[in-house]
Each structure stands twice: as structure tokens, then as C-alpha cells.
């Protein structure tokens, strides 16, 4: 498995500010960086637990949090690596255009002179939804409509830790 989440950015600069050089090189040389970082966290917890520096209940809590984080990373990877099938996109596109082209014929008897206005409004709404769907298909990129992961990370980083 390879990293597909936000692969457009290089994590080296961010990680070099936060990690020791040996760990940084271990992570940067790995094929799947999030799993390597989680493996290190698990090793750190075990090392400190064996040394008696961490309470056994805290070890359980750390383990639970690492498992949850692993599930979240897996979910994000599934979202990022499961593309919308091309046939599905084409079918949606054609259905929207066919519906919009045939809508005036179905409305002309019921709303008369307002048919063009209503048909244009409905067509605009359907085409806008189709455009939005194609924009948000891959949320982990660096386009304007993608998730603001950098901003989210900065907010998390600046939020004071209540248990630290």
C-alpha cells in the first residue's frame, strides 16, 4: 500500500521540526509514512511502559487511541484511493443533460410562459450539483475546494493540550 493522501506535499519540512533525525529518516524512507509513524508511537508506548514510566491504564488508553487513529487513516485512504468510476460520471452527466433538455416539454402544458424560466433554473441547479460533485470527488488534494488540511493541522497544533 502506498500513500495517496495529500501526496502532492512533501512532509519532510514539517516532520523535521518535530522529530529526531533518525526517526525522520526512518519515516521518510518508508513506503507508507503514516503506518511507520504509528508503529513508532506503539514502540514508544511499549518502551516507556516496560520502563514503568507509563501507568498500565494509560497504556490501554494510548492503545485505544492508536487503534482509532489507525481506523481513521484507513478510512481516509479508502476515500482517497477509491475513484469514482468513469462510467458513473458519464451516466450522471448524460442523465442530467437529458433531463434538462426534456424538462421544458413536460412543463409547457402546466406552467406555460414560465416554462423557460423554470427549466433554466432547474437545469442550472442540476448542472451545479454535478459540477460540485466532481469538485469534491477527491477531498485530499490541494485544489481550492479540497479540505483545508494545512489549516486544520495548524489549528490542532496551536490548541493547548489539557493533559500535557
- Quote the DSSP letter at residue 20: -
Query: Cα angle vertex 75, ends 71, 81, to 5°?
Result: 140
Total domains in the chain come to 2
Task: Give pLDDT < 70 ranges for the chain.
Answer: 1-8, 162-164
Q: Does residue 90 lie within any of the structural domains?
A: yes
Q: Does residue 108 lie within any of the structural domains?
A: yes
Specify whether 101 is located in the same domain as 75.
Answer: no
Specify whether 25 is located in the same domain as 59.
Answer: yes
Q: Does residue 5 lie within any of the structural domains?
A: no
pLDDT digits (tens, 9 = 90+) for 109-136: 999 999 999 999 999 999 999 888 888 8
Task: Give me the pLDDT at residue 8, please.
Answer: 53
Q: Does residue 143 lie within any of the structural domains?
A: no
Specify whether 79 is located in the same domain as 38.
Answer: yes
| pTM of the predicted model over 0.85 | no
Query: Closest Cα partner for 30 from 58, 1, 70, 8?
Result: 1
Task: Give me the pLDDT at residue 13, please.
Answer: 86
Task: Give me the pLDDT at residue 61, please.
Answer: 94
Specify whether 17 is located in the same domain as 69.
Answer: yes
Task: Give me the pLDDT at residue 3, please.
Answer: 45
Q: Does residue 140 lie within any of the structural domains?
A: no
Specify whether 115 is located in the same domain as 129.
Answer: yes
Specify whether 118 is located in the same domain as 70.
Answer: no
Q: Does residue 16 lie within any of the structural domains?
A: yes
Specify whether 32 is located in the same domain as 70.
Answer: yes
Task: Give me the pLDDT at residue 2, please.
Answer: 43
Asked which of 67, 83, 99 is the last residue of a domain, the reply is 83
Give the structural domain span for 77: 12-83
Specify whether 40 is located in the same domain as 101.
Answer: no
Task: Give me the pLDDT at residue 113, please.
Answer: 92
Helices (H), the chain: 12-16, 21-28, 33-50, 56-81, 86-111, 115-135, 149-158
Amino acid at each position: 500500500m502506498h500513500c495517496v493522501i495529500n501526496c502532492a506535499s512533501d512532509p519532510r519540512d514539517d516532520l523535521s521540526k518535530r522529530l529526531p533525525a533518525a526517526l525522520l529518516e526512518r519515516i521518510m524512507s518508508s513506503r507508507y509514512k503514516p503506518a511507520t509513524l504509528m508503529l513508532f508511537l506503539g514502540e514508544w508506548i511499549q518502551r516507556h511502559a516496560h520502563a514503568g514510566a507509563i501507568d498500565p491504564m494509560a497504556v490501554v488508553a494510548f492503545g485505544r487511541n492508536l487503534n482509532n487513529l489507525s481506523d481513521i487513516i484507513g478510512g481516509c485512504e479508502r476515500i482517497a484511493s477509491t475513484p469514482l468510476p468513469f462510467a458513473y460520471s458519464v451516466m450522471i452527466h448524460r442523465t442530467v443533460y437529458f433531463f434538462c433538455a426534456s424538462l421544458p416539454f413536460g412543463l409547457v402544458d402546466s406552467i406555460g410562459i414560465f416554462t423557460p424560466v423554470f427549466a433554466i433554473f432547474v437545469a442550472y441547479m442540476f448542472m451545479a450539483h454535478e459540477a460540485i460533485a466532481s469538485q469534491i470527488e477527491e477531498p485530499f488534494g490541494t485544489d481550492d475546494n479540497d479540505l483545508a488540511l494545512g489549516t486544520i493541522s495548524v489549528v490542532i497544533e496551536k490548541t493547548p493540550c489539557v493533559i500535557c
